[in-house]
Amino acid sequence: MKGKVVEEFGVFTVEVSYCKKVGIKDRGQKANELMKRHVEVEHGAVERE
């Protein structure tokens, strides 16, 4: 996101000149990935960092 902060009448706003959508992340999918990694570490399938 690119833009500038503008103050008018004591109120600050952001005027956006460019904005790139990054998409919606699925919280359930991320949780599943973390759980899978945890299980792999617990069973020694992955080296700890």
Q: Which string of DSSP letters, residue by residue, matches 1-49?
A: -EEEEEEETTEEEEEEEE--------HHHHHHHHHHHHHHHHTTSS---
The three-state secondary structure class of 26 is coil
Per-residue model confidence (pLDDT) at position 47: 55
Per-residue model confidence (pLDDT) at position 29: 74
| Tokens encoding 13 | 């706003």
Distance of alpha carbon 45 from the chain centroid: 27
Q: Where are the domains of the chain?
A: 23-49
What is the chain's alpha carbon radius of gyration, rounded to the nearest angstrom? 21
Per-residue model confidence (pLDDT) at position 46: 54
* Tens-digit pLDDT profile for residues 6-46: 999 999 999 999 988 877 766 677 777 878 877 777 666 55
